Amino acid sequence: MAEIREGDTAPEFTVPLANGEVESFTLSERLDEAPLVLAFFPGAFTGTCRREMRTFRDRMDEFAAADGTVYGVSVDSPFALNEFREKHDLGFGLLSDFGKDVVDDYGVRGDLARYGVYGVAQRAVFVVDDEGTVVYRWIAEEPGTEPDYDEVLDAVESAG
């Protein structure tokens, strides 16, 4: 598994985008929306993930004011992610890494062994600038930990 650090080139990927429809998302084709916030989460419809995605939703005006674009990333199917988006009124796209390539490339594949769930995304946030460089990286060390949203916003503002 790779370990992506600040200053590294963000690994390229193409995955389904759940945005009410199902479309294709390729990172390099979205750099004009940068800074991009890639918020990895273990699974739709779970407590901490729901809280995290709702917090991003509730702070979208702040991220938009900093010219940032937020995307949630999980290994859930794009169809489940569309249901999750709709149920929680998420105004941003969710990326389906159903094949688990992105979690491997970003070094954030994890397990929730106490629940018997393996091969999910660790909770993590990467901010990618318009040149495709990772300018911020955070990976949860404990289950249930959420990112420092102010820190993520500061990274977006600095990269913008």
CA-wise closest residue to 94 among 13, 11, 21: 21
Instruction: Give the integer Cα–Cα distance in Å for 23 and 36.
Output: 18
Mind telling me the catalytic residues? 49
The answer to whether the CB of 42 falls within 8 A of the CB of 49 is yes
Residue the block writes with tokens 């941003």:
92
Residue the block writes with tokens 């990112």:
147
Instruction: Give the integer Cα–Cα distance in Å for 119 and 28.
Output: 25
Read off φ and ψ for residue 53, nearest 5 degrees. Answer: -65, -35
Terminal CA-CA length for the chain: 29
